Amino acid sequence: MYVVNLREFKKLPICLFLFNIIIVARAVFVQSSGIFTKQECLFDPTPHSKWKTCSCENLDGEGSNIHVKCYRQPWTIIPTIPYDNRSLFSHNDTVYNIVALSIMHSSVAFINQDAFKHHNIQILDFTNNHIETINVNAFRGLENKLYQLTLNQNSLTSIPSSAMTYLYQLRYLHLTHNMISEIKSNTFDETQLKNLHSLHLDYNQITMLPKKSLLRLPLQVLTLSNNRITEIEKLALPTTVWFLDLKNNLIPEIPYLALRELKQLRTLDLESNNITEIGNNPEVKFVSEIDLKLSNNRIKYIKDNAFDSFQKFGRLDLSYNQISAISGAAFNSISQMQQIDLSYNRIVHIPVGTFKNMAKSLKWINLEENQLHQLPNALQPLRTLEILNMNGNKLTVLDTNMINNLKPVLTELLLAFNRLTEIPTQVLNGMSRLRHLDLSKNRIRYIQRLAFGKFDGTGTSLLKLNLAGNLIENITDSGSFLYMSSLAYLDLSHNRISYLNDNAFERLEGLESLFLQSNQLNQFPITTLGNIKRLRYLLLDDNPITILPDYFLRSLQFLQRLSLTRTKLQHITNRTFSSHSAPNLRSLNLAFGHINYISTGAFNNMDSLEQLTLNNNKLTSIQTLTFSSLRNLRQLSLAGNAISMTTERSISDIPTLENLSLARNRLQQLNKATFVNLNNLEQLDLSYNQLRTFDFTFLAQSLVNIKHLDLSHNRIITIDLHSAKRTLTYLNLAYNQLQSIGKNLLYDFGQLKVLKLDHNELIEVQSNAFAMCKWLTELNLSHNHLRILHKGTFAEQNIYDSLILRNNAIISLDRDTFGVNNVHKLDLAYNELKKIPHHAFSSIQNSLTNLNLRGNRIRSINANDFDGMENLTELVLADNHIETIEEAAFSKMQKLIKLDISHNPITSWNPHAFRDLSNAMEILDLANTGLFSLPKIYNHGLRLLNISNNKIHELNAAHLINNRKLVTFDISYNNFKELDSEMFAELVELKHLNVTGNPVIKVTDRHLRNLYNLETLRLCDMEELIRLPEPYSFRKLRHLRNFHIYNLPRVQAYNISDILKHLPPLRSLAIEIREARLTTQMYSADLRLLRKIVITGKQLFKIDTGAFAQLRGYKVDLTVRDTGIEVFPPSIFNTLTAIRFLSLSLQNNHLQTLEPFPHTKPPVLNQHGTILHNLQLTGNPIICDCRLNWIGDWIEYYQSVNAAYEQPLDDTRCADQAGSGTTLHNAYTSTNRTACTAGSINSSSNSIRTLSNLLFPLLLALLN
């Protein structure tokens, strides 16, 4: 993307100025118009030119000004760029002018002298190479031309300032993701970078900025995020900077003295540093408005005069700290502030005068996720506040006096996730400009008359009202929504509403969207809804509605979308929809119900309907002409029913129908003329049926336009597809019983691009089977019984992006099996190959990029096996029988990025096996390959190294001298007794470390000190470990996101609570609990970002109700495994109200039952609408009685949102049945549910429930 700032051109010589304007303007126009062309580079006519492998992009449409783009090149230095000394305008032939040059994801290690001399290059991009040094004269000739230089993701250890001395016109310099550890005071002393405006040094190893280090640069934008900066000295920074990014460093306080001279500073980002206290400096005053970001630090208290060095804030961000109190005098010096974010702290009180000086400027306050029990007094003086976010606090009542002054101006008030028991009418009364009110997930039980205030004139301006997830049981007062004529959006979902007054919504004249799903309405509220004249979207899913009144949509003339899924409807009759009802209805969703009958004229005259969804009901047949009147229908789903037969004209005369699904039914055949006059049908899904033969006689029309046909998961033996050969582009025949593919099956299918034939019974594919499918790009023949592939089988296609032949019995490949360089990705995993079939690969050696030979019987490899595979980027040889690796075995593949030879019984490693390994190599997997020591790896760009499951006993810094860019390092399950802490010091970019399963005796503070950037640490199954670092030492892992620590039996000083207290907010956590009871062990942890948690512990027998009460997030995975628990208390689910979707795994415990829905309907776990998204119960002695009857309903939900063929709980068996027992899936998805008897629920479960009910109120009181 070109960014043009005309002011930056003012110092350029006039000729260069005009030239730059023309080139950049043309580039912008050409790119924005989408007409730029990529083609072979022609600027170097030399035979075998290295530049031929690059592409050239014309920037002006004429071909003279070009951008040369080179990717994945094996060059270690930049090849000579030929120079054409002819004038641009003196010759009829094209004279190429290289304006931009990109050499990315390549192997360049050195930029040589005069590499670009005699050229007019303005933009250079060397992202992701291995550049360590740059010649002092590298950019000679570009002094008045180079505009942007990018050296991101290289191996520079210092800023190459000497090479940039005379780059007068350089504007943008990018040096992120290098290994720069120091900027000296004299680094830029000799440079003349008088136009450098942006410098990016993020993701380096810089620890401090000394005096004058950057002072001489005329920078406007300076980014130094993700370094290790602890100190910035006075006069270190340019005085011209207006944007300064210092986030993710180790800065302990606001560096006032370093910032003092930055008079133009407008944005200061100090997010995620080590700031524990905000102080001021009397010598420093910022007069202008500043955006200050201090989020995710360790600030606990904001004291008096904390911000005295500032006068004006645009936005002040203090979110994600540990602030519990704010002094009333904290902002005394601040005369103006527009926004303040205090969310995700621990604030319980804000004094009345805190914001008094900003009373007329503050417009936005975020106090989400704090511990406020009432509206803070600090709101009282405010006059201009428009948005107030109080979500996720502990509000029980609201004091109207706190926000009286805000009533004329407030437009958005967010009060979700609190403890309100009634609508705060007095607070809302008079809020004449309020647009959005969120009261969801509180404890509101009723809506009284004039609940939202009384107004004169036309009523409130409220547009959006959210009351979801409360305890509302009915709306009886017709005046509940008076004076709300502007309301357009009303959400009442996930309540307990069973009754609506006929006039409840009468005054909502502007209502367009109404959400009533997951309530307890047993009949359609026809009169109530009939009063809403402008309603467009109506959702009534998951209500126990059993019948729809005749012509129930008659009054809803504007309705466009209606959803009635998961109801108890059984019949749709001729009288359900009248001929004049809902003339604008476009989408009707009746899925996941109990509908078993639809009359022939049910949908007559619904002319606007475009989408009709009837999947997962109980239909057994389709009445003739049922859908024929739907003249504008585009999508029809009848999937997941029990349809076993079709009649003539079952679906007919729908000229607009594009997408039809009859998947997951019981069709054994499609009768002739089942479908008639569906001339626009493009996508047809008949998967998961019982078809044995297939042809198109069921489609009675002369023109077949089907492009996408899914016949997978049937029993097809014979098939005729020729009627669709002109149009078919996607064909899925997977999971059938086809035994051979002959030449006639796909003859002349000229448009076919994707063909899936996996999981059949193929024993042969004829050589000409695909000969006439020239455009086939993806072919899957996996999981069949193929042993031999004939010559020419894959020869006629232009190019295969993906050819999958895995899981067959292929023993060899002929030389001419493939075409000429027509395969990119080839998967031959899990066959019977005994050696690498290089003779068969010879025809595709130049095109092959990915080769998977996993799970064959290959015994040895050498360099000659990969002759000519110069473009191969990924090679997988895992799970073979390889015993020997020869010298330089992989040297022929100079673009190889990933090499996996794991899980081979290698007994003979040549010491130089990896000699001449591709410089592009990033991923090397040597797991379980018989290693006793780390082989010599010369590659400098390795990012992932897996040497797990070997016998290596020693590893130190010297072994990894070439691998300083490692990001992921797996040394698990080796013989290490000691870990060299200095080894980790060299791995400055290490993010993921696994030392599990080693006989290491101690892990010390020194190990953690050198793991600054670590995001994942696994310390598990270490039976010899006797010592862990002190808990406070874990504070050094300030970027940790994933932590696994369990099964350390000899460690005595194991206090998981103390360790968690010192860790940053984690994303995933797996821990062992040694106590018998899980109570508050995790309360010390910062769980606000935690989305996956695993609890284990053989001594764990009980879990308290509030053990997981602090978990929150949209999707959370909770696992409790390998413990002694016999009960998972149902009351736990009532504490998980801040989770939207819960995946729960309770494997290998001692549970006999589980009752997640004592007061709700599956899949909803609690009053706030938490959904049980997934469930695992394997390895428990489950008793299959009536207590588990909820499983059937839950499985129905599960299959509605996941792949239909998945069968949850099919791996868990009933322990109380003879033999192996039936699975939970089979036991509770049959039509007969397990009956309950008086004694079927033992007394222990009753006593547990009673105890839980007694303890839960006590827990809430304690949490308060």
What are 380-422's pLDDT values in tens digits? Answer: 999 999 999 999 999 999 999 999 999 999 999 999 999 999 9
Query: DSSP per residue over 516-580, as a string?
Result: --SS---S--HHHHHT-TT--EEE--S-----PPTTTTTT-TT--EEE--S----EE-TTTS-TT
Q: How far is residue 519 from each of residues 556, 1032, 1169, measured CA to CA in Å?
A: 21, 49, 11
Residue scoring higher pLDDT (1106 or 1241): 1106
Question: What is the average per-residue pLDDT within 994-1010?
Answer: 94
Residue 48 has a pLDDT of: 86
Which one has a higher pLDDT value, 1146 or 452? 1146
Residue 728 has pLDDT above 50, yes or no: yes
pLDDT on residue 15 = 42
Cα 954 → chain centroid: 38
CA distance 1234 to 1256: 30
Mean pLDDT of all residues in 914-937 = 93
Count of Cβ atoms closer than 10 Å to residue 383 Cβ:
13
pLDDT category at 1247 given cuts 50, 70, 90 is very low
Distant-in-sequence, close-in-space partners of 952: CB < 8 Å, separation ≥ 6: 931, 932, 933, 934, 971, 974, 975, 976
Residue 460 · residue 431 · CB < 8 Å: yes
What's the CA dihedral at 1147, 1150, 1153, 1155 to 10 degrees? -70
N-terminal to C-terminal alpha carbon distance within the chain: 52
**Stretch 1-20: mean pLDDT:** 40
3-class SS of residue 331:
coil
The pLDDT assigned to 91 comes to 42
Average pLDDT over residues 887-902: 93
What CA–CA distance (Å, rounded) separates 303 from 323?
Answer: 11
CATH topology for 579-726 is 3.80.10
How confident is the model at residue 173, as a pLDDT?
98
Range of weakest confidence among 241-245, 262-266, 551-555, 779-783 = 551-555
Say yes or no to pLDDT of 248 above 90: yes
Cα separation of 770 and 1141, whole Å? 45
The two counts, helices (H) then strands (E), for the chain are: 11, 72
Q: Which tokens sit at 593?
A: 């119900």
Assess whether pLDDT exceeds 70 at residue 23: no
Domain boundaries, the chain: 579-726, 1071-1264
Please give the model's pTM, rounded to 2 decimal places.
0.89
Confidence label for 625 from pLDDT (cuts 50, 70 and 90) = confident
Q: Which pLDDT score, from 0 to 100, does residue 699 have? A: 86
Q: How far apart are CA 971 and CA 990, in angstroms?
A: 13
Mean pLDDT of 107-121: 94
The residue ranges of DSSP E strands in 3-109, in sequence order, are: 38-40, 55-58, 65-71, 97-104
Amino acid at 30: V
Confidence category of residue 223, pLDDT binned at 50, 70, 90: very high
Place of tokens 């508050």: 1080
Question: What is the average per-residue pLDDT within 826-835?
Answer: 97
For residue 1055, pLDDT beyond 60: yes
Chain mean pLDDT for the chain: 90
Q: What pLDDT score was predicted for residue 1220?
A: 60
Q: How far apart are CA 855 and CA 468, in angstroms?
A: 52
Q: What percent of the chain has pLDDT over 90?
A: 77
Q: Is residue 922's pLDDT more than 60?
A: yes
> pLDDT per residue over 323-366, tens digit each?
999 999 999 999 999 999 999 999 999 999 999 999 999 999 99
Type and span of the H or E element at 340? strand 336-341
The span from the CA of 717 to the CA of 733, in Å, is 11
Tally Cβ neighbours within 10 Å of residue 336.
Answer: 14
Cis peptide before 1163 (omega within 30 of 0): yes
Q: What is the CATH number of domain 1071-1264?
A: 3.80.10
pLDDT (tens digit per residue) in 1193-1243: 899 888 878 766 678 999 999 987 755 678 999 999 876 556 665 555 444
Q: How is residue 844 annotated by DSSP? A: G
Q: Tell me the three state secondary structure of residue 1259.
A: helix
